[in-house]
Amino acid sequence: MKIVVTGAAGFIGSNIIRGLNARGIDDIIAVDDLLEGDKFRNLADLQIADYIDVDDFYDLFAEAAFGDVEAVFHEGACSDTMESDGKYMMDNNYTLSCELFAACQEQGTRLLYASSAATYGGSATFRESPEFEKPLNVYGYSKLLFDQKLRRELGSDFSGAPIQVAGFRYFNVYGPREQHKGRMASVAFHQFNQFRADGKVKLFGEYGGYGAGGQMRDFVFIDDVVAVNLWFLDHPQTSGLFNLGTGKAQPFNDVALAVVNTLRQQRMEKPLTLEQAAHDGLIDYIAFPAALVGKYQSYTQADLTALREAGCSHVFADVQTGVTAYMNALAQAPSQGL
């Protein structure tokens, strides 16, 4: 089985390759760019058949240069929600995706692609339906436009796809192999480094009608994201657009407390309550940044109805379980926390 993974040196892409390798699948073409050379670390311990630079891949794939490819996991994108260059964003996230979709359809290759919960933006309902899609930035719009194109071509539920096309609206994903993402890395990653450096973690203060650290997101552990992607690989008859989150919103305070208590436990220190951690200055609430006002989702929670109706019954880790596992992984591989 030959597989292509775009964004292969990135966070989700490299973890998907890890999941494929665990199944004994290594006939994998990894597509990315290494302008940020340190991203090679995400590939160094993985087994792949070939590496193709992103600037060369799309034309070559359209020419069927790689032979019979079973599926493409399309994770490559510009995911910086603060990026203001709309032309760059649309070229990367929309135009290239359209070209890849056309080539996959022509060659009979399954397409499993990354959409985003950013397509919902200012909505209070997170269901895969147009009336709830209100992106707050050009990143969210670039992802939404590709979803909309597929709905026009394949039908609202992608039922017109002659071969599998499945899109995943990732919510707040965290876990190993995100160290290269800089400011776009998860809050758990940043808090690991903050606690190691300063003995405390930082959270936003009051905003959007929520108290300090009380803004709520659907935080999903990377292992769960990989498991769902691979479930769809195992079910080639299943197409559609699906939320990929836990289905349970939790406050940022839960993440911070899990970080603090796990790292304290590693030092043989007793766990604290949220109130104790805040009182002792281990959680530092900072003013909400002006640059994010009006562009920030204070609440997200994936509606998993479509995913469950498709037959995927995967059980997701909660914040306490996932963040604890992540902190322990970072502690065992400290270079991932740099």
Catalytic hit among 149, 181, 202, 295: 181
Measured CA to CA, the distance from residue 258 to residue 151 in angstroms comes to 40
Is 139 known to be catalytic? yes
Catalytic hit among 58, 113, 120, 139: 139
Q: Are 86 and 138 in contact (CB under 8 A)?
A: yes
Amino acid (1-letter code) at residue 75: E
In DSSP terms, 203 is beta-bridged to 285
Measured CA to CA, the distance from residue 95 to residue 281 in angstroms comes to 47
Measured CA to CA, the distance from residue 86 to residue 54 in angstroms comes to 20
Burial class of residue 247 (count of CB atoms within 10 Å of its CB; 0-12, 13-18, 19+): middle
What single string gives the DSSP state of each residue in 212-281? TT--EE-EEEHHHHHHHHHHHHH-TT--EEEEES-S--EEHHHHHHHHHHHHHHHTT-----HHHHHHTT
Q: Which residues are known catalytic residues?
A: 139, 181
